[in-house]
Amino acid sequence: MKQSLQLSLVISTAAGASQSPVGQLPINLDYIPDLKLYNISTNLLHDNSPQKGPSSYIEDGLCLDIGPKDQPAFPIGHKNARFLDVQSRADLVRRYADDHQRLKIRSIPDIDYVWNGSVSYAALTGGIKFSYIHASHVLEHVADPINWFADVCEILDDDGVLEIKLPDWRFCFDYRRRPSSFSEMIAAYLENRKSPSAYSAYESHIYTHPKHIHVTPRYPDDFRFSIDRHKQALKQAYRAAQGQPNFNIHSWKWSAETFVQHLTLLNDLDLLQLKIIDGSVVPSRSYSIEFRLLLKKKAGQNNCAPFLARPGN
C-alpha cells in the first residue's frame, strides 16, 4: 500500500510539474475533453468596438461594486457609487495585512453594505435597484452561483447591466485543478450550499500552493505533493465540513468557453433570468488571467427566482 501511494505521488508530481511555454495553454488541456466541445457564438464575442464601461453609467443612476478590494470600479465618494463586501473597510484592511497582501489603502472604499451570507442582497440594500452592478473576481468564491445570480437579478434595474470578470483557471494558480462541471453547479443549487464544500477546500489546498501563475516567467515551478500538504488540506476540508469555511478559496474554475456554455444551459433550463449581452464576451488572452462579459435581465422578466424555486414547482 505504501509503495502504491509513493508511486501515485511520483506520477502526480511529474504531471503537476510540467510547465507550458509562456502565454500558451497548459499541457493538461490534452486530457480535458469538455473544453474542446464548447465554442462561443460569434454574436456573443466582443468585436473590439468601443464599449461603455462602469464609469459611463455612474451619472445615469445608482451603481454597485461587489468586492471592490483596492480597485473600485466607481469613483470613491461619488453620489451614485455604492460598495458591497463581506467585511467592513477596517476589517478588510486588517485581513489582508494578516495575509501579508499589500493593498493600496487609500483606494479601498468605505463599504456601504456588509454581507454575511444570511440575507439576500435585496434585503441588505433595502430594495434599492441599481443601473450597473460590477463584480470582479467574486463569483469564483461564491458557494452557489445560481442563487447568487438570482440575488443580483433582484437588485438590478430592468434595463440594468451586470458586469462579471473572472479568472481563467487555465492561466491562474488554479491551473493544476480540474475545471468545474455543470453538474457541480446544479448540485450546489439543489443543496442550497451556503459555503465552499469540503471538496473545494481540500482540492484548493492541495493544488494551489504556492500560488504561482504558470504563464508568467517570474515564478519558479516549485510545486510538489507531500503527505504534510495532504494533512493540511484535510484540516481545511474538515473545517469547511464543520461550518468554518474559507471563502478565500476558489470554489469554481471556468474558462470563458465553459462559463458561457454553463450560462446557456442555465437559461435553457430556466434557472437563470439573466442573459449574455451580444458582443460583450472578452475571452482570456495570453499574459492575461481573466475574461469578462455583460448580462442583463431577460425581456419582461419579473421573477428572478430559478424555475424550481417558484411557487407550484
* Domain residue extents for the chain: 2-62+129-300
Q: CB–CB of 294/276 below 8 Å?
A: yes
Would you call 101 helix, strand, or coil by DSSP? coil
Q: CB–CB of 165/290 below 8 Å?
A: yes
Q: How is the beta sheet containing 130-136 ordered, strand by strand?
A: 113-114, 81-85, 63-66, 130-136, 156-167, 290-297, 274-276
Torsion angles phi and psi, residue 133, rounded to 5: -120, 130
Q: What is the pLDDT of residue 279?
A: 94
Q: CB–CB of 69/103 below 8 Å?
A: yes
Q: CB–CB of 166/290 below 8 Å?
A: yes
Q: What is the pLDDT of residue 215?
A: 54
150 dihedral zone (left: phi>0; alpha: psi -120 to 50; beta): alpha
Q: What is the pLDDT of residue 17?
A: 38
Q: How far apart are CA 225 and CA 278, in angstroms?
A: 43
Give me the tens of pLDDT residue by residue for the chain, a chain 313 residues long: 444 433 333 333 333 434 433 344 454 444 444 555 568 888 999 887 777 778 788 988 999 999 999 999 999 999 999 999 999 999 988 877 766 567 788 899 999 999 988 889 999 999 899 999 999 999 999 999 999 999 999 999 999 999 999 999 888 888 888 899 999 999 999 999 988 999 999 999 888 866 665 555 555 566 677 899 899 999 999 999 998 878 889 999 999 999 999 999 999 999 999 999 999 999 987 667 899 999 999 987 778 988 776 656 6
Q: How far apart are CA 176 and CA 169, in angstroms?
A: 9
Q: How far apart are CA 226 and CA 232, in angstroms?
A: 10
Q: What is the pLDDT of residue 225?
A: 77
Q: What is the pLDDT of residue 137?
A: 95
Q: What is the pLDDT of residue 217?
A: 53
